Structure 1
Amino acid sequence: MDSPLWRDGFTLFLSIVVQAMPFLLLGVFLSGLMAVFVEGSQLARFLPKGKIGSAVAGGALGFFFPVCECGNLPVARQLVIKGIPPHVAVAFLLAAPVFNPVVIFSTWIAFRNMPELVAYRVLFSFGIAVAIGLLFSVQKDLEPLLQPAVWRELQRNRCQEAALKSTSRSPLLQGGTFWIGSRGPAPSGGSLATLQRAEEMYRAALAAAPALSWRQKGLLLLQTWAREIRELGSVLILGSAVAAFVQTVIPRSFVLDYGQDALVSILIMMALAGIISICSTVDAFFALSFAATFTPGSLLAFMVFGPMVDLKAIGLMLTLFRPRAIFYLVLLTFQFTLVGALAINYYCS
């Protein structure tokens, strides 16, 4: 129980959790505010109508929500629940860990002597995120993509917004008759009065939800934060434990033996990025320690692939997407990153 391997694994586990937790809390903080104070229709108004424009806008959102892969999932999940198309959330989910001012600055600090890697990291991450978002936009039926709980919340929000929109101009209360503009005869006075009373009661019930007091909104905000922390925090701890366990098993000597091979070095660094699950705000400094022994393309692959789909991020994605959707997301990210990193290796050779 007191072996060096166990101590190293526990130390790695704590380091991953300590690095990730502040950014997870930041993401939960932002998503809670969005859940209580922002309507889906308000968010949708700021998005371009076309698929390409909306995917680009989704990727660019990361610049205004400077959170790493630990904190962007709560925000992305709330975007989906609020009715934003999932392909926009996918673009945000993949781009935000790198396409934000905090990570760009930390990468530049680490690779000041290799500024091209900083530019490649930002451009590749953004381009891959938008491309995968566009591929996900082809899916018309969203239910197979989303977890059942997220799908139910999305449907409930849609129904509430549709009901509020329809009752704001309800024909029951226009001119005293439901049959304005219709072809049939108007119902008798008694049935019309009943319908009017039912409509008024329904509108009053719907109007009560947005008219929460500040105290009620505060309680709802606390409840939302508590639920998000409980759900996402448990997944984060599990993913961190798996990442720490696997990292202690793989010998470092095996990694260093293949650092100069154009293809194998990329595969090793991508696997390493997925396993060790370092937060994107500090992973550039970890990659810098391999700069003397690994190819430029492999360093780039580490800094592009890891923030998108490491073990910790995959665990968190399971609270939003079904496993099949995550499989395609990981596969596409792997392919795009591999092709881009190979191009950099052959360009720099």
Structure 2
Amino acid sequence: MNQLNTAFTLFLSLLVEAMPFLLMGVLLSGLLLFFVDERKLIAAMPRNPLLGAIVGSCGGFLFPVCECGNIPVARRLLLQGAPTPVAIGLLLAAPTVNPIVIWATWVAFRDQPEIVVLRVLFSLSIAVFIACLFSTQADLRPLLQPSVTRSRLIKSESPVGSLWQSKPAQPERKPALLQSGSFLLGQPEGPLRMDASSLQGSVATGKISQPLPDKLRLFLENTIQELRELGGVLVIGSAIAAVIQVGVPREIIVSLGQGPVTSILAMMLLAAVVSICSTVDSFFALAFSSVFTSGSLLAFLVFGPMIDVKAIGLMLSVFKPRAIIYLFALVGQLTLLLTLIINLYFS
């Protein structure tokens, strides 16, 4: 009974901690959808993979959200047809490379400023490398969820330029309500699909009036819809994280943290299990600073915001499971390599 109470308390704490940042990400996502000229936005994004990865990885300074809020923003960018390196860089680096998290890390590790600098550098390096790696994939359709793929295929026919190297055959058209996604009912010409291409095209052709009050109404409806979709996934992810925290004693994880390699692996596992928001995880890591090496503390601070149990559920709204496993493996290997160098040569 005590374990059940503990799991429920952890579940509520994770949910309460994450929900404001999910709401912030959904609001930013809606702003991109309704109030930003997507053609100008996409045209302004660099097409060079390296430059696009760097710009996307630094996007946290414009969208200072944690790992629960950056996923809706990255998904919206992909839906709008943004270059892949920009979206992947934002997805991985924004939870760490943003002014709120940098300031919180500085407050926690004021006596160890190298932790702050290395956390930002390692997060940027990993995000840029993986974003460039994804840009080498000529066709991302096998890695993306069908809803994201369909929207990007629509964008590939826009004047901005093709995002796929080969143009696929046109999919068979189905009645609107037989397709997956969200729709506005009660429109004069039938249900209207709630995605960037349909909505902005409808505004341009006059199907939706352009006055600000109407845009605000649609913005609110879109926010509620995305909160229902992503919020449900967040609830499931938080429940899984709470069960794991109760079922796996932390003493077992901590007991592994003596060696240069095992300490890193233990802190990476701990980061994935506890699923703490990136804005406060530095204070949690500070509690282990007298026991664990600097490299293992960095592993916790770098790996956790990119991959944790709570965020995996949200990532399933963008990527297929195989792509998430791919991301998980890449982030884990790069984090282990960089932090092991710190343990072996600078500790």
Q: TM-score, normalised by structure 1?
A: 0.84
Q: CA deviation at 1:29?
A: 0.6
**Alpha-carbon distance change, 162 to 337 in structure 1, aligned in 2, over 3 angstroms:** closer
Deviates more, 1:36-45 or 1:329-338: 36-45
Give yes or no for contact 1:236–1:315 (8 Å, CA) kept in 2.
yes
The residue number in structure 1 matching 2:184 is none
Q: CA deviation at 1:327?
A: 1.2
Q: CA deviation at 1:252?
A: 2.3
Q: CA deviation at 1:158?
A: 4.7
Give yes or no for contact 2:43–2:160 (8 Å, CA) kept in 1.
no
Let me know the Cα RMSD of the aligned residues: 1.9
Give yes or no for contact 2:203–2:210 (8 Å, CA) kept in 1.
no
**Alpha-carbon distance change, 160 to 207 in structure 1, aligned in 2, over 3 angstroms:** farther
The residue number in structure 1 matching 2:291 is 293
Deviates more, 1:221-230 or 1:153-162: 153-162
Aligned residues: 308
Could you tell me the percent identity over the aligned residues? 52
Deviates more, 1:125-134 or 1:148-157: 148-157
Query: Counterparts of 2:204 and 2:116 in 1: how far apart (Å)?
Result: 50
Q: CA deviation at 1:102?
A: 0.0
Q: Which amino acid aligns with 1:76?
A: A
Among 104, 109, 112, the residue aligned to 2:110: 112
Query: Counterparts of 2:85 and 2:291 in 1: how far apart (Å)?
Result: 38
**Alpha-carbon distance change, 274 to 205 in structure 1, aligned in 2, over 3 angstroms:** closer
**Alpha-carbon distance change, 130 to 112 in structure 1, aligned in 2, over 3 angstroms:** same
Larger Rg: 1
Superposed CA offset, 1:30-61 (max 9, x none) = 10111112233211232223111111111111
Query: Counterparts of 2:219 and 2:21 in 1: how far apart (Å)?
Result: 18
Q: Which amino acid aligns with 2:243?
A: F
**Alpha-carbon distance change, 128 to 162 in structure 1, aligned in 2, over 3 angstroms:** closer
Give yes or no for contact 2:260–2:343 (8 Å, CA) kept in 1.
yes
Are 2:140 and 1:142 equivalent residues in the alignment? yes
Q: Match of 2:314, SS?
A: helix
Give yes or no for contact 2:39–2:160 (8 Å, CA) kept in 1.
no
Matches within 5 A, 1:132-281: 132-159=130-157, 207-208=205-206, 212-281=210-279
The residue number in structure 2 matching 1:15 is 13
Q: Which amino acid aligns with 1:62?
A: G
Q: TM-score, normalised by structure 2?
A: 0.85
Q: CA deviation at 1:262?
A: 0.6
Q: CA deviation at 1:14?
A: 0.8
Give yes or no for contact 2:61–2:97 (8 Å, CA) kept in 1.
yes
After the TM superposition, which parts of structure 1 deviate over 6 Å for at least 4 consecutive aligned residues?
Answer: 160-163
Greater share of residues in helix: 1
Q: CA deviation at 1:161?
A: 6.2
Q: Match of 1:302, SS?
A: helix
The residue number in structure 1 matching 2:165 is none
**Alpha-carbon distance change, 129 to 39 in structure 1, aligned in 2, over 3 angstroms:** same
